Amino acid sequence: MDKVKLAVIGIGNIGNLHLRNIEHEPKVELVAVCDIVPEKADAAAEKYGVKAYYDSDTLLADKVCDAVIIGTPHYFHTTIGIAALDSGHHVLVEKPISVHKADCERLIAAHERNPEMVFAAMFNQRTDPYYQKIREMVQSGELGTLQRVTWIITNWFRTQAYYDSGGWRATWGGEGGGVLLNQCPHNLDLLQWITGMPVKMHGFCNIGKHHTIEVEDEVTAFMEYSSGCTGLFVTSTGEAPGTNRLEIVGDNGKLVYEGNEITFTRNEVPASEFLRTSPESFARPGTEVETYTFEHHGGQHSEVLENFADAIMSGAALIAPAAEGINSVELANAMLYSSFLGQPVAMPLDGAAYEAKLQELIATSTFKKEVVEQVEADMGKSFN
């Protein structure tokens, strides 16, 4: 195989970005596009000179491609992903890989049934050299034992017009969540990629605080890790200008990533040693400051696309194996579940319990009811 024959399913915002990137990627060849809105599929098919499909089952049955990119609303990542893997297609699935943990497990099980298929997730921010550097510094032990990780990621500002632009958006039935499921999968993936998973979560999620929506648009979550490290994750789509500040404190010092610069303030003596051995009451370790900047933020979506092709053609290691996508979904689900219960939840999360809670939210929702009914009809199942 000298090129991967590729189809894009879901020709919306991100599907169109993928189509533009595919044009510039010599290792892939676009052979088909698919959208349940025929005008969208037809327009893309005409523009790129490929075949249009209006449903993914027909596309997969026709065996016209080696691989698919799934850029539909999130619930379909699971159903289309399973169908694609079971019919012998490599899959690059958008984030989040599924809406909830139990669906992630169903999707991952399809890959386990078909391990020869390459199954990747579009966690494009893993290509950013800033996050790669932070991960390396944490995982190499340079920061020492972690004490605290705090991520304030409130620069996801969105208008009401944004939420109104797609019927599926900001509904339990159409999207399965708000900022945690749409904007934050990137940050939650990076968080677990850098620090691993917590063992306890206490989430405080505000539902429709800034927008007329039925899902969360502001979240503060407190986490505990098995090492004793604590975590705080703060996000919002209603705050302007917003902040992106990641602060990780270890025994060896404090790392701050904000505004295109990583600053590491390194303790000359580890904090735990200094506080035990210093004879003085108010002394603190001396420090040295190191800064890191990079000229760009990595290849992003194009780099993940090329890596997907390399994995199919020559077995390259994936930047983001899709199975790892369960972690960001589980973090999001745990924040919401804890918030609904009004108490902390242990992790790993009980996926069945969260799925039941989500189904209850869908069943009792009166918000954009017709949208939920359409999603149910498209999926061929009822949430009630």
Binding site residues, ligand NAD, CB under 6 A: 9-15, 34-37, 40, 56, 71-74, 76, 94-95, 122, 124, 166, 182, 378
Q: How far is the CB of 65 from ligand NAD (least distance, A)?
A: 14
Q: How far is the CB of 110 from ligand NAD (least distance, A)?
A: 17
Q: Are strands 244-250 and 146-153 parallel, antiparallel or unpaired?
A: antiparallel
Query: Toward ligand NAD, which CB reaches closer, 73 or 325?
Result: 73
Query: Toward ligand NAD, which CB reaches closer, 176 or 250?
Result: 176
Q: How far is the CB of 206 from ligand NAD (least distance, A)?
A: 21
Q: How far apart are CA 307 and CA 318, in angstroms?
A: 6
Query: Toward ligand NAD, which CB reaches closer, 80 or 246?
Result: 80
Q: How far apart are CA 171 and CA 160, in angstroms?
A: 13
* Residue among 275, 279, 245, 278 at smallest CA distance from 263: 245
Neighbours of 232 (CB within 10 A): 14
How far, in whole angstroms, is CA 52 from its chain's centroid? 28
Q: How far is the CB of 61 from ligand NAD (least distance, A)?
A: 14
Dihedral of the CA atoms 257, 241, 368, 81 (nearest 10)? -30
Cβ-based neighbours of 183, under 8 Å, separated by 6 or more: 156, 158, 235, 237
Query: Toward ligand NAD, which CB reaches closer, 36 or 64?
Result: 36
Q: How far is the CB of 375 from ligand NAD (least distance, A)?
A: 8
Report which residue's Cβ sits closest to ligand NAD. Answer: 12
- Position 48: which residue type? Y
Query: Toward ligand NAD, which CB reaches closer, 360 or 378?
Result: 378
Count the alpha carbons within 13 Å of 322 in the hemisphere toward its beta carbon: 35
Q: How far is the CB of 217 from ligand NAD (least distance, A)?
A: 16
Query: Toward ligand NAD, which CB reaches closer, 10 or 81?
Result: 10
Q: How far apart are CA 130 and CA 153, in angstroms?
A: 15
